[in-house]
Structure 1
Amino acid sequence: MEYSVLTIGIPDELFSNLKKLIVQYRLRFIMSPTVHAAGQMLSHQPFHLLMVNLEYLRSIQQTDWLIGIRRISFVPVIIISDTPEKDMKGMIELGADMCVSGKWPYSMIADLAYAQLRRYTEYNHYRDPGGAEISPFQVSDIFIDPARRIVMVQGRSVDLRPREFSLLLYFMQNPKIVLTAEQICEHAWEMEGSYNRGVSGPIALLRKGIEPDISNPCYIETIPRIGYRFTAYRDETCDDCSSSVGLL
């Protein structure tokens, strides 16, 4: 499987050396031009490591940018700083996992990056990061861990019964696709034929757990006479639910 590393403001020399030195994984490095673009990418696709140059954030007066990121992603974050001893505490409080010096040997930074990748992929993903059936993943600001039966919405833990958990997992595996009641029964619950009690009850219970406003659903859209669609992104369906990340 190919893993993705997102970088922001990292010096070109460090960027190129990291690509050469972290050989334990098949990595795809993506350099984001702005924090706004990085926020959009983190909202729409999975990344396995985020590396940010603190001096760049300071230059654009966005040192608290990580607060918004932690609402949408649990990706490990390494901060590159000229003064890590001074900045460590503040960066950890904002959501970073590690603060290192850009003046350290490239091999040392690469080793620390590898350690974070290993923890997030092999340890948290049960050594099978490509297995969608067990690997934790995130769509917009909803995180799901199928093996541990964990759901978090914007960092808030949500308790779901097995039926609603399976329903959410099926929705998250098929974002923006209109799903019929028959498809939901067959693929989410492995039931053949029509579900004699319908799917509206489980949908209502799932909405109660994840929606910020049940009367105005942002995540699960009803398609009249057809089925339901997991819209995935709150800012596309709810005018007043825009993520702060998208506003940077």
Structure 2
Amino acid sequence: MVVEDDHTVRTVIGEYLRSAGYAVELHGDGATAAAALGREIPDLVVLDRMLPGVSGDELCRQVRAASDAPVLMLTALGTVEDRIAGLEHGADDYLAKPFSMRELQLRVAALLRRRRAADPVAVISAGRFRIDPARRRAWVDGREVGMTTREYDLLLHLARHAGELIPRDALLREVWGWAGSDASTVTVHVRRLREKIEPDPAIPVYLRTEWGRGYRFTPDGDAGAWT
């Protein structure tokens, strides 16, 4: 699904993605898109943040309430704070306007590939965490945690590298598949993941920051293991 109020941009995106082999549903305003989302959630949503009526942020929340379908947010707002706000509403990735159609296609392909990948490896049991890659589900202390596609990908990568120090640019490269993007993307997703897995997100014991160096995942919850 593509939701974009600019007719020319919407048409070009639709034609480009269709030429790449995707079935594309186009909407020019938030209200009609919201009605369509109420009937069926698509595999991926390309969503303009600045929409008349029902906003892109509200549509993103609607998708998140019903599905882990990836959301790629388009924004004409140039500041880091504006882009972070879109991610905090549940978007998995964003593109700032103007952007190239080729980059849009590559990001769509990467999001769908990661969502559809059914990793056949065994269930990961690490400390208080249990992660099932084949079913893309995760539990903390026996409690299942609902996550977006990107949050799950991030947790799975961290679990596979438990105890290792991972710089933010390495997470961007390995989890997002992009190099040189705004590292605040990682910061936002780490914060959102902490809100779901930490007893107290303000004092993380599983996913800890080592300032100026990166992140370290300690699935046993040993807060004193690293400084």
Q: TM-score range by the shorter chain?
A: 0.3 to 0.5
**Which one has a bigger Cα radius of gyration?**
1
**TM-score normalised by structure 2 residue count:** 0.46
**TM-score normalised by structure 1 residue count:** 0.42
Higher relative contact order (CA 8 A, sep 6+): 1
